[in-house]
Amino acid sequence: MEAKGVIHLEIKATGLHRYFGSPSAMYENYTSQELGIARQSLLNYWQKTEEPYENAICIIRKGELERKIKIKKEEL
């Protein structure tokens, strides 16, 4: 299977779950003030650990989206 990076954002106050293809995509929809962390600070955090980032506002997890590999009819 092919894997693609995914960012999972959970907003604690509302229980809202959103999924993004990159941190940049997440910050196009939310400001640093809304998330309680700047984009570069989040990237620096993930350079040190693969653990989810959590503060009083949200939990941000980094993972992989598993995808099925397409097989062309000629390859069967």
Closest by Cα among 4, 17, 9, 7 to 54: 9
pTM of the model: 0.83
The Cβ-side half-sphere exposure at 16, using a 13 Å CA radius, reads 9
Through-space distance between the first and last CA atoms of the chain, rounded to whole angstroms: 17
Q: What does the pLDDT look like over 1-59, one tens digit per residue?
A: 556 889 999 999 999 999 999 999 999 999 999 999 999 999 999 999 989 999 999 99
Q: Give DSSP secondary structure letters for 24-44.
A: HHHHHHS-HHHHTS-HHHHHH
In 3-state terms, what secondary structure has residue 1? coil
